Structure 1
Amino acid sequence: MAETIARANGWLSGVVWGPAGLLLLALTGAWLTMRTGFFQFVRLRHWLGCTLGAIFTDRAITAHTGRDEGAISQFQSMCTALAATIGTGNIVGVATAILSGGPGAVFWMWVMALLGTMTAYAEELLGIYYRRRDAKGQWIGGPMYYLAEGLGAKPGCRALGRGLAALFALFCVLASFGIGNMSQANAIAGNLEAAFGFSPALTGGVLAAGSALVILRGLRQVAAITEKLVPAMALVYLMGAGLVVLTHFWAVPEALAAIFRGALGLRAAGGGAVGYGVWAALRWGAMRGAFSNEAGLGSSVMAGASSNVTEPARQGMWGIFEVCADTLAVCTLTALTILCSGVVDLETGLPLNGVGPEALTGAAFSTTFGSLGPAFIALSVLLFAYSTILGWSHYGATAFGYLFGPRAVTVYKLVFSALIFVGAVTELGLVWALADTFNGLMMVPNLIGVLALSGTVARVTQNYLDRTLRGEHIPPLRSATDET
């Protein structure tokens, strides 16, 4: 039975993450980039000022103002989204991409991230545009809502929109149990056992109990934890990775050269080993990049839709920032620590010490921190994976509530918390593979909705630019579900 499931999953994963799926992802980003006038490049200064710059200058960004008790702050929504995206994919995922696709995979991570910024922008914009309040007066939103209310409002598309919304929600729930829960708990338990000798059962028990205390109290508690945890863990990890790169600064030019050689096919393949060539670099770079920043999957929208922002385009700019922070900052530094530290062959990306992707980043850190390197990575995985569990608990709960109603959400949260322990103590080879597939399956209905509503994205963006940058006295565009 397990073999049959594995075979079927392998075929399905090949379809989702194969040429057709990756082409759909890239073309969606390219189309939205053109429709918005290359917003992420042309308006670079503006969106940076409205996100990173505003964190330090606008208290409304970081503090709950009290004007809308049904919302969380923009900073909290960003941290919740980053909590789910900055995870083991930034450490193990990058190492896997390099081992499987060579150094050139990093280049295609960058390309997909630059295109993915506008996919994330469109998702976040639509999330605000089509969000609604629940029975408690709290904002809820996500791809389910812009599929049902946006795509579903087009002539002859009512059934299609609602059907795709239900499919997305189902895939999201399944992915939340795998990639957002059991696989993260398994990574935490495995790293803590290897580094400190902690029993997986002990780790799983403590992790499940601690997570349940936060998850059962709802989004506000999740947001309160992530707004403190995410900036601290990201800063500490970036400082550690930065020190590794600085201690091997002379290797940076050659590492960058290897990235471009591998991406553009300027080196010879050798040995017949799997993973050489431009396609391997492109596929693994694009797949691991999308897996890490989640642009195109629609997941982060469920955190962004709860923000106290009233401008859809402003929330869209947080989507751009989240992709850049995840891939262009964290993933890039991870890649440079691996490539500059001498733990892999720069032509093939294969490890020189025989370690697998789980231990490769730790080996790179060991070249600077000695025996503390693996311990540093183990603690980083703990924090990254735990934040991912918290972020995905909200995504899954939102999708489950859409499918079965708000009263069923407590049942979901209890099951989600129990599976954390299961994930910590169970061998999860098949679960990892299934989770990867369900994660990718979320992309299909979401991208159909985003492409169908790209005209709305373009109109809302133009309206925002006309009002804010050109000073035109025109009313903001509002959706039928927007009461603000």
Structure 2
Amino acid sequence: MDTLNNIVLEIQHYLSDYILIVALGFGGIWFSFRTGFIQVRGFKEGMRRTFGGLFSKKGDAGKDGMSSFQALATAIAAQVGTGNIAGAATAIAIGGPGAIFWMWVAAFLGMATIYCEAIMAQKYKKIGKDGVVTGGPVYYIRAAFQGVFGKVLAAIFAVLLIFALGFMGNAVQSNSIAASFHTAFGIPQWITGIVIAVICLFIFTGGMKRIAKVTELIVPLMAALYIAGSLIIIIYNWKNIPTAFYEIFVGAFAPEAIAGGAIGATISKAITKGVARGLFSNEAGMGSTPHAHAVAKVDHPVQQGYVAMIGVFIDTFIVLTMTALVIVTTRALPESYNAVSGGYTGAELSQFAYSLVYGKFGEIFIAICMFFFASSTIVGWYFFGEANIKYLFGAKAVPIYSVLVCVCVILGSLAKVDLVWNMADCFNSMMVVPNIIALFALSGMIKKTHDDYFKNFLPKHPELQKKKKK
């Protein structure tokens, strides 16, 4: 087991620190130029579509898909997970506050990548034999590569996603909830695991309609709760806000210049940890969230592309940044920064930072947020895995898949198994490869679909242009 774990860690090291940073970084730059920096030009329209969907009457999800906002909520449910609490803390602990700057860079580029993923998922979505709309990278991979190669590449992606998210990933999420509840309330982890599994099975058996209802209710609530709780701490430490931004921006390029000295941080660590954690937090380029965006009921693929971009913005520039600012403004940094921390990393560092203001309630607050974040991620990842189960085995295999996911949730809550956690990360990384290859291959179709919206669709729908001007 130790040997296998070391092999997995070595593979993951080369994937996350080198291959994926280059592939996703270059991809973000390429798609930014290809779409005329749509993340800038289309930001206002994306916000209008997103929050217009939040406050307008929401359509019911059914076999014909979800409303645009429900699809976004399902995507954000998957994006905003334990990585927003533990990922930011780990990046800061290893790469210093400057890692946050590189997380922002990764998110900015990722907004263009996820825009392209969403419009391709919309363009190549399918209606299954059961009449249910489905979609995702497996379908646009097949469109990008005809013949045996396309079938094999799509199948590899589907298997990787099912194991990375549906099984191992959800076990990891369950463990995070169970561990935080045990710390905060003393509840045995197996009890938490069973409760989560029962709740999830109830949601799973309701199909797309119930999943959409749950995510559109939970996501705004959990985001508001976390942002409010974080802002209280940041405002409480308002005198440290200028210092925090100084450390983030200066630390991005010269970690050694930060007051106190960043003994363990270098610009290399700041970039690699910031970009890597940022990419895995917002999931742009991984091929996960396109499953949600594919089933949105929109008139043109670009309309959901706008919304998909805002998902990355919310995940990184708002939620993850809250965690980062709490850690930096409370001075809860690792010992190498001459701060008050006892050398915590990951979720423990986040819990420590919140407890500096909230005391014991800090642990309770993180436990509650972890429940919302991780449980919504379980629902989102289940939905993504379900689409690939249908692709490989048909709709009849879905009930079996539902039960297996719940078993993984229970087993995951019992103990943290390093091999399972590391394999989940490794499979996540491997998912990127077939997905990004297909996106590059479809670059011409992405450009064509993007241009069609502005040159053909909008002129035929002048009412949309009026809304954009408003």
How would you bin the TM-score normalised by the shorter chain?
over 0.9
Q: Give the corresponding residue for 1:482.
A: none
Helix, strand or coil at the partner of 1:334: helix
**Within 5 A, what are the aligned runs for 1:97-112?**
97-112=91-106
Structure 2: 5+ residue runs without aligned partners? 463-470
**Within 5 A, what are the aligned runs for 1:360-439?**
360-439=349-428
Distance 1:438 1:383 in 2: 24
Distance 2:430 2:136 in 1: 16
The answer to whether structure 1 residue 44 and structure 2 residue 33 are counterparts is no
Give the Å deviation of 1:4.
2.0
Give the Å deviation of 1:383.
1.1
**Within 5 A, what are the aligned runs for 1:317-336?**
317-336=306-325
Judged with a 3 Å threshold, the aligned counterparts in structure 2 of structure 1 residues 257 and 473 are, in CA distance, closer, same or farther, namely closer
User: Aligned to 2:59, which of 63, 82, 93?
Assistant: 63
Cα-to-partner distance string for 1:329-371 (whole Å, 9 max, x where unaligned): 1001110000001211697497623333222212222232222
User: Aligned to 2:157, which of 146, 158, 168?
Assistant: 168
Q: Is the 8 A contact 1:100 1:274 kept in 2?
A: no
Q: Give the corresponding residue for 1:285.
A: 274
The answer to whether structure 1 residue 88 and structure 2 residue 87 are counterparts is no
Distance 1:274 1:171 in 2: 38
Distance 1:106 1:273 in 2: 15
Q: Is the 8 A contact 1:102 1:262 kept in 2?
A: yes
Helix, strand or coil at the partner of 2:344: coil
Give the Å deviation of 1:295.
0.4
Distance 1:463 1:190 in 2: 49
Helix, strand or coil at the partner of 1:420: helix
Give the Å deviation of 1:161.
1.8
User: Aligned to 1:143, which of 129, 137, 153?
Assistant: 137
The answer to whether structure 1 residue 116 and structure 2 residue 115 are counterparts is no
Distance 2:340 2:6 in 1: 28
The answer to whether structure 1 residue 209 and structure 2 residue 198 are counterparts is yes
Q: Is the 8 A contact 1:245 1:340 kept in 2?
A: yes
Judged with a 3 Å threshold, the aligned counterparts in structure 2 of structure 1 residues 454 and 16 are, in CA distance, closer, same or farther, namely same
The AA in structure 2 aligned to 1:381 is M
Q: Is the 8 A contact 2:137 2:287 kept in 1?
A: yes
Judged with a 3 Å threshold, the aligned counterparts in structure 2 of structure 1 residues 105 and 411 are, in CA distance, closer, same or farther, namely same
Helix, strand or coil at the partner of 1:97: helix
The AA in structure 2 aligned to 1:13 is Q
Judged with a 3 Å threshold, the aligned counterparts in structure 2 of structure 1 residues 247 and 136 are, in CA distance, closer, same or farther, namely same
Higher helix share: 2
Q: Give the corresponding residue for 1:74.
A: 68
Q: Give the corresponding residue for 1:13.
A: 12
Q: Give the corresponding residue for 1:477.
A: none
The AA in structure 2 aligned to 1:122 is C
The AA in structure 1 aligned to 2:366 is I
Distance 2:262 2:311 in 1: 35
Cα-to-partner distance string for 1:379-411 (whole Å, 9 max, x where unaligned): 110111110111111111111221222211211
The AA in structure 1 aligned to 2:271 is L
Cα-to-partner distance string for 1:70-126 (whole Å, 9 max, x where unaligned): 211111111111111111000011111111111111011000000000110000100
The AA in structure 2 aligned to 1:26 is G
What's the % identity of the aligned pairs? 35
The answer to whether structure 1 residue 241 and structure 2 residue 230 are counterparts is yes
Give the Å deviation of 1:272.
12
Q: Give the corresponding residue for 2:21.
A: 22
Between 186-195 and 343-352, report the one with greater CA deviation.
Answer: 343-352
Q: Is the 8 A contact 1:101 1:349 kept in 2?
A: no
Q: Is the 8 A contact 1:72 1:306 kept in 2?
A: yes
The alignment's TM-score, normalised by the length of structure 1, stands at 0.91
Cα-to-partner distance string for 1:34-58 (whole Å, 9 max, x where unaligned): 01111111232222222234433x5
Between 301-310 and 413-422, report the one with greater CA deviation.
Answer: 301-310
Q: Give the corresponding residue for 2:467.
A: none
Q: Is the 8 A contact 2:164 2:427 kept in 1?
A: yes
The AA in structure 2 aligned to 1:114 is F
Distance 2:411 2:256 in 1: 44
The answer to whether structure 1 residue 276 and structure 2 residue 269 are counterparts is no
The AA in structure 1 aligned to 2:136 is G
Judged with a 3 Å threshold, the aligned counterparts in structure 2 of structure 1 residues 32 and 378 are, in CA distance, closer, same or farther, namely same
Q: Is the 8 A contact 2:89 2:324 kept in 1?
A: yes
Give the Å deviation of 1:217.
2.4
The AA in structure 1 aligned to 2:453 is Y
The alignment's TM-score, normalised by the length of structure 2, stands at 0.93
Q: Give the corresponding residue for 2:468.
A: none
Cα-to-partner distance string for 1:427-478 (whole Å, 9 max, x where unaligned): 3222111100101111000000111111111111111112455x2689xxxx
Cα-to-partner distance string for 1:191-242 (whole Å, 9 max, x where unaligned): 1011000011111111111211111222221111111111101101101001
Judged with a 3 Å threshold, the aligned counterparts in structure 2 of structure 1 residues 473 and 378 are, in CA distance, closer, same or farther, namely closer
Distance 1:208 1:240 in 2: 27
Distance 1:349 1:161 in 2: 53
Cα-to-partner distance string for 1:228-276 (whole Å, 9 max, x where unaligned): 1111011011010011111111111111111112211252599999851
Q: Is the 8 A contact 1:171 1:441 kept in 2?
A: yes
Q: Is the 8 A contact 1:258 1:347 kept in 2?
A: no
Alignment length, in residue pairs? 462
Judged with a 3 Å threshold, the aligned counterparts in structure 2 of structure 1 residues 151 and 378 are, in CA distance, closer, same or farther, namely same
Distance 2:167 2:263 in 1: 27
Q: Is the 8 A contact 1:124 1:316 kept in 2?
A: yes
Q: Give the corresponding residue for 1:479.
A: none
Name the Cα RMSD after superposition: 2.2
Distance 2:230 2:258 in 1: 30
Distance 1:457 1:351 in 2: 50
Helix, strand or coil at the partner of 2:32: helix
The answer to whether structure 1 residue 461 and structure 2 residue 454 are counterparts is no
Helix, strand or coil at the partner of 2:256: coil
Distance 1:92 1:274 in 2: 22
Q: Is the 8 A contact 2:326 2:354 kept in 1?
A: yes
User: Aligned to 1:199, which of 188, 195, 212?
Assistant: 188
Distance 2:190 2:278 in 1: 32
Distance 1:223 1:473 in 2: 28
User: Aligned to 1:440, which of 420, 429, 439?
Assistant: 429
Judged with a 3 Å threshold, the aligned counterparts in structure 2 of structure 1 residues 473 and 194 are, in CA distance, closer, same or farther, namely closer
Judged with a 3 Å threshold, the aligned counterparts in structure 2 of structure 1 residues 104 and 347 are, in CA distance, closer, same or farther, namely farther
The AA in structure 1 aligned to 2:192 is T
Judged with a 3 Å threshold, the aligned counterparts in structure 2 of structure 1 residues 73 and 473 are, in CA distance, closer, same or farther, namely closer
